Amino acid sequence: MSLAPFHLALPVTDLEASRGFYAGVLGCPTGRESARWIDFDFWGHQLVAQLVDPADHPACARNAVDGDYVPALHFGPVLAWGDFEALAVRLRDAGVEFVIEPRVRFEGTVGEQATMFLRDPSGNHLEFKSFRDPAMLFARGEPGQF
């Protein structure tokens, strides 16, 4: 499957802290930038950190999913299984605090996936996930059933 890159503009409250997180901790190369925004190569996608006043940063509701309290507003790439495991080690080594620790969700069922949630310095939630069988990404059926 060939995927087209997506573009996501993300509100951030501190550009330099965002640069440190996305370029430093996650290893995302930077592209164009100005005094109010920075482009990052986010696993082949264009992520634009756009500076906003802290009072204008959106709050995030949460939903119960498979025993976790998942942020309703989140984003992130679907990685190969080994890349997911390597990133989890990298994040732990960097002292990143997880919102939801790396774990396997829906084990042995439709939708089985590795997942982890964290926040960037502005409080935006990211989910990194992986499927042992990439064909399960869009599989139909209820998670937890097989």
Give the domain-ending residue among 10, 37, 55: 55
Task: Report pTM.
Answer: 0.88
My answer on whether 40 and 73 are in the same domain is no
Per-residue pLDDT of the chain (146 residues; tens, 9 = 90+): 577 899 999 999 999 999 999 999 999 999 999 999 999 999 999 999 999 999 888 888 898 888 888 988 999 999 999 999 999 999 999 999 999 999 999 888 877 899 999 999 999 999 999 998 888 888 776 655 54
My answer on whether 7 and 46 are in the same domain is yes
What is the DSSP code (8-state) at residue 97? P
Cα(75)–Cα(123) distance, rounded to whole angstroms? 12
Q: Which domain holds residue 95?
A: 58-146
Structural element, H or E, at residue 88? helix 81-93
Give the strand order in the sheet containing 125-130.
78-79, 125-130, 113-119, 98-105
Number of structural domains the chain divides into: 2
- Cβ atoms of 79 and 88 closer than 8 Å: no
CATH number at residue 139: 3.10.180.10
My answer on whether 3 and 75 are in the same domain is no
My answer on whether 51 and 11 are in the same domain is yes
Cα(105)–Cα(64) distance, rounded to whole angstroms? 13
Q: What is the pLDDT of residues 54-87, one digit of tens each?
A: 988 888 889 888 888 898 899 999 999 999 999 9
